[in-house]
Chains A and B, each alone.
Chain A
Amino acid sequence: MKIYLDDRTLTVERGTTVAAAMLNAGVSVFRESVSGEPRAPLCGMGVCYECMVTIDGQRELSCQTLCQEGMRILTR
């Protein structure tokens, strides 16, 4: 299936989480911390909130969200 990441189009396997798809696409920075540090998934299980991105307009945990056809993901 296809998802949209910022200005890129990605092809992903069914059952892939958004976090995994983003890592596979080479994204290393998921969010900027309060003091401006780059951050990326830490816990992988919905606890740490480091993997928060905007998915179809909502702030979501990318590690807890499965990719859906046509999903739009913004890292900023």
Chain B
Amino acid sequence: MTGFDLIVAGAGPAGIAAACRAAETGAKVLVLDNNPAAGGQIWRNDIPALWAQRLSNVEVRGGCSVIDDSILAHGVPIVLATGARELFLPFPGWTLPGVTGVGGLQALVKSGFEVRGKRVVLAGTGPLLLAVASLLRKRGASVTCIAEQAPRSALLRFATGLWRYPLKIAQGIELGGSLLGVPYFTDCWVEEAYGRDRVERVRLSGFEQDCDLLAIGYGLVPNTELATLLGCTLQDGFVTVDAMQKTWREGVWAAGELTGIGGVERSLVEGEIAGLAAIGELTEARKLFSRRAAWHRFASHLTGAFALRPELRALPRPDTIVCRCEDIRYNDLTRWTSAREAKLQTRCGMGLCQGRICGAANHFLFGWQDTSVRPPASAAPVSDLMES
């Protein structure tokens, strides 16, 4: 780690933008990511050519996890760009093979999963449903329907506000064209998935549908584990940063979904500012403030339109599994009053994923906030903790 002017944790859009901008000033930059290659969840191995070229002066190490705060010991500034994961809400049948995240299915397809001829139901909320539907169709899948939980009225309000974001309109027209003929339902969500050893049929609000794959996406949850271990301050689940994307922890900047959910463009501009600021190029960073402000407005627009409806809290049945690592069921949890209590009394969140899936679900279902993060930031060989 020594010999670098900047370390970036996360090789998605925000991390790549931070690394490129810093490297273009002559800084020596190292990017670490636990995925095999750069690109993050949204780009995967399809990094836009513009950014891919700019990345050539940056050292990227894939398959590399940062597990605790010992990374700070090198005294090198750090930009955290650890992105987000998907929010999963439990419903009967959600543990069946063939049920994936919407972004999860996108990631699997981009890493080689062939979906040609497969019947896919997409359900959840937000523009990612449309983007993934488009990708799936291009790869030859049959998208049998898209179920958007948000009410039609909210979507119309969202759409009429889009004129301020010409880029988004262009993307929308392109998406619309590739999705012609796909049934799209609003006020519609998955109530149950059926199947023996894999999903075969889905019940949505008011109708049933056969399928080979069910992809669900209720939005994103920031990956704040590393930021928490490094001692950054969080508010409402996101890392707190100043105008320069600097966190409350000395020597640590944060960008992208860590600071708020709002799409690629928002992540890119935050990443650029963070990368520049972290190596002291404050004047250059300031030039990007107005572009960032525009994408922040777009993000709040997005959040309002796709707010989750309360009916989704009523989906789990008493025997529906909530914690998939430990197979803890909904009725095991109802007696308890906090994430910590539920964890100590039932093992909910004690498994391999350490509550990364059920933690956010329980926040939605019960209002619980699990803020306890301990090293390693993700499961790691014991020997990794023996290195001083």
A and B touch in the complex (CB under 8 A): yes
State the Cβ distance, A19 to closest chain B Cβ, in Å: 6
Bound CA span A46–B380, Å = 12
Interface status of B351 (Cβ within 8 A of chain A)? yes
Q: Is the CB of B112 within 8 A of A16?
A: yes
State the Cβ distance, B11 to closest chain A Cβ, in Å: 13
Whether A42 touches B113, Cβ cut-off 8 Å, given contacts A28-B98, A37-B95, is no
B86, B324, B379: the one contacting A50 at CB < 8 Å is B324
Bound CA span A21–B45, Å = 16
Interface status of B298 (Cβ within 8 A of chain A)? no
Q: Is the CB of B104 within 8 A of A64?
A: no
State the Cβ distance, B211 to closest chain A Cβ, in Å: 14
CB contacts (< 8 Å) of B45 on chain A: these are 15
State the Cβ distance, A25 to closest chain B Cβ, in Å: 10
Bound CA span A66–B342, Å = 37
Interface status of B59 (Cβ within 8 A of chain A)? no
State the Cβ distance, B226 to closest chain A Cβ, in Å: 13
CB contacts (< 8 Å) of B37 on chain A: these are 66
The residue of chain A having its C-beta at the shortest distance from the C-beta of B114 within the complex is: A24
Segment 38-53 of A: residues with Cβ below 8 Å from B: 38-50, 52
The residue of chain B having its C-beta at the shortest distance from the C-beta of A30 within the complex is: B97
Interface status of B198 (Cβ within 8 A of chain A)? yes
Q: Is the CB of A41 within 8 A of B103?
A: no
Interface status of B267 (Cβ within 8 A of chain A)? no
Bound CA span A23–B114, Å = 8
Q: Is the CB of B97 within 8 A of A40?
A: yes
Q: Is the CB of B197 within 8 A of A48?
A: no
Interface 9-mer from B159-167, B258-266, B283-291, B352-360: B352-360
Q: Is the CB of B111 within 8 A of A63?
A: yes
CB contacts (< 8 Å) of A46 on chain B: these are 34-35, 378
CB contacts (< 8 Å) of A33 on chain B: these are 95, 324, 327
Interface flags, B98-128, vs A, CB<8A=1, else 0: 1111011111100111100000000000000
State the Cβ distance, A37 to closest chain B Cβ, in Å: 6
The residue of chain B having its C-beta at the shortest distance from the C-beta of A49 within the complex is: B352
Whether A48 touches B353, Cβ cut-off 8 Å, given contacts A29-B197, A34-B326, A34-B327, is yes
Bound CA span A63–B35, Å = 9
CB contacts (< 8 Å) of B97 on chain A: these are 28-30, 38-40
The residue of chain A having its C-beta at the shortest distance from the C-beta of B102 within the complex is: A44
Q: Is the CB of B101 within 8 A of A44?
A: yes
Q: Is the CB of B198 within 8 A of A45?
A: no
Bound CA span A15–B99, Å = 24
A13, A37, A41, A47: the one contacting B108 at CB < 8 Å is A41
CB contacts (< 8 Å) of B35 on chain A: these are 45-46, 64
Interface status of B88 (Cβ within 8 A of chain A)? yes
The residue of chain B having its C-beta at the shortest distance from the C-beta of A37 within the complex is: B95
Interface status of B299 (Cβ within 8 A of chain A)? no
State the Cβ distance, B346 to closest chain A Cβ, in Å: 12
A16, A29, A41: the one contacting B100 at CB < 8 Å is A41
CB contacts (< 8 Å) of A19 on chain B: these are 108, 111, 113
Interface status of B63 (Cβ within 8 A of chain A)? yes
Q: Is the CB of B41 within 8 A of A12?
A: no
Interface status of A17 (Cβ within 8 A of chain B)? yes
The residue of chain B having its C-beta at the shortest distance from the C-beta of A17 within the complex is: B111
Q: Is the CB of B112 within 8 A of A13?
A: yes
State the Cβ distance, B326 to closest chain A Cβ, in Å: 6
CB contacts (< 8 Å) of B107 on chain A: these are 43-45, 63
Q: Is the CB of A41 within 8 A of B104?
A: yes
State the Cβ distance, B358 to closest chain A Cβ, in Å: 10
Bound CA span A33–B103, Å = 23
Given A16-B112, A19-B113, A45-B85, 19 more contacts at CB 8 Å? A13-B112, A17-B111, A20-B111, A24-B112, A24-B114, A29-B97, A29-B197, A34-B326, A34-B327, A37-B321, A41-B108, A42-B101, A42-B324, A43-B88, A44-B103, A44-B105, A52-B352, A64-B63, A66-B37
Q: Please list the residues of chain B having a beta carbon within 8 angstroms of any beta carbon in chain A.
A: 34-37, 41, 45, 63, 85-86, 88, 95-101, 103-108, 111-114, 197-198, 223, 321, 324-327, 351-353, 356-357, 378-379
Q: Please list the residues of chain A having a beta carbon within 8 angstroms of any beta carbon in chain B.
A: 12-13, 15-17, 19-21, 23-24, 28-30, 33-35, 37-50, 52, 63-66
Nearest first, the 6 A-B pairs at minimum CB distance are A16-B112, A44-B104, A40-B97, A20-B112, A44-B107, A49-B352
